[in-house]
Amino acid sequence: MKGNIEVFHYGAWQPFLSRGLTSSFWTIHSNTVINTWLIMALFIVGALIARFLLSYHQLSRFALLQAARSFANLCEQTLGTFIYRHFSFVFFLFTFILCCNVLPNFLPHVGEPTTDPNTTFALGLISFIYVQFYSIASQGFFGYLHEYITPFFVMAPMHVISKIASIISISFRLFGNIFGGAIIIQIFQMFKAGSLVLQIIGLITGLNIIILAFFGIFEGLIQAFVFAMLTLTYIALGTQTEHGE
């Protein structure tokens, strides 16, 4: 129906339809996949441009290095020492999620992949697996298991639930905020679409830019940063016995 909010709409691919597997578990959201791959392509192009600027443009090189240095300082303060592999992983998460949150606002007919809970859950799962892997590498397998029975063995189920809850928390925090921002932007666009006067007022007052800047750009930046910092905090907690390399 015309005028409906389309954030809820996902195209569907059912690759196992011929085998009778038609449940939502076996359904692929085509819009999300296409948008994600498009963002990934732009992300790679942006990385190549950044590499070119680092090589040939001193001013851009200074700005890019300052941004990376600031993030590296945050990692060092959180972890207690600078560890390159953790820095590169968290920085990649931040920049990728930032691109997913912000770039679609400037691309027609492209939606934020992070408005799909499958995307944010996948990101949360990647973060979780990375943290658990390096927690085991840092503490040793038995040291890692000991965490689950501290201070008493009966606390093990609670620790397991806490670990699982961290995936849900980090995933749905990102999804909820980006999805909510997308809804607000669409409601605003629908509200002013039926009136030329409202469109002119929005243009003259700058309200169009304010709504887009806050809910489309600023919120996307904040949520990418929050996701990255939570991941970094989990890494610090899981590898607290690890020292500089």
User: What pLDDT digit, counting tens, does each position of 224-245 carry?
Assistant: 999 999 999 999 988 875 444 4
Residue 83, number of CB atoms within 10 A of its CB: 19
Report which of 185, 188, 186, 191 is spatially closest to residue 214, judged by C-alpha positions.
Answer: 185
Distance CA 40, CA 58 (A): 27
Distance CA 144, CA 148 (A): 7
Residue 91, number of CB atoms within 10 A of its CB: 18
Residue 150 vs residue 179, higher pLDDT:
179
In eight-state DSSP terms, residue 13 is E
In eight-state DSSP terms, residue 11 is -
110-153 pLDDT, tens digit each: 888 998 888 999 999 999 999 999 999 888 888 888 888 877 77
Residue 206 vs residue 220, higher pLDDT:
220
Contacts of 143 (CB under 8 A, 6+ apart): 241
Give the 3-state secondary structure of residue 51: helix
Q: How far is CA 225 from the centre of its chain?
A: 8
Amino acid at 196: L
66-97 pLDDT, tens digit each: 778 888 898 889 888 889 899 999 999 999 99
Q: Roughly how many angstroms between the first and final C-alpha of the chain, as a whole number? A: 58
Own/partner pairs for 92-97, CB < 8 Å, 24+ apart? Answer: 93/123, 93/126, 93/127, 93/224, 93/227, 93/228, 93/231, 94/224, 94/225, 94/227, 94/228, 95/43, 95/224, 96/39, 96/40, 96/43, 97/123, 97/174, 97/223, 97/224, 97/227, 97/228
Distance CA 177, CA 241 (A): 34
Band (pLDDT 50/70/90 cuts) for residue 32 is: confident
**Rg, Å, the chain Cα set:** 21
Helix axes 117-139, 30-56, angle to 10 degrees: 60
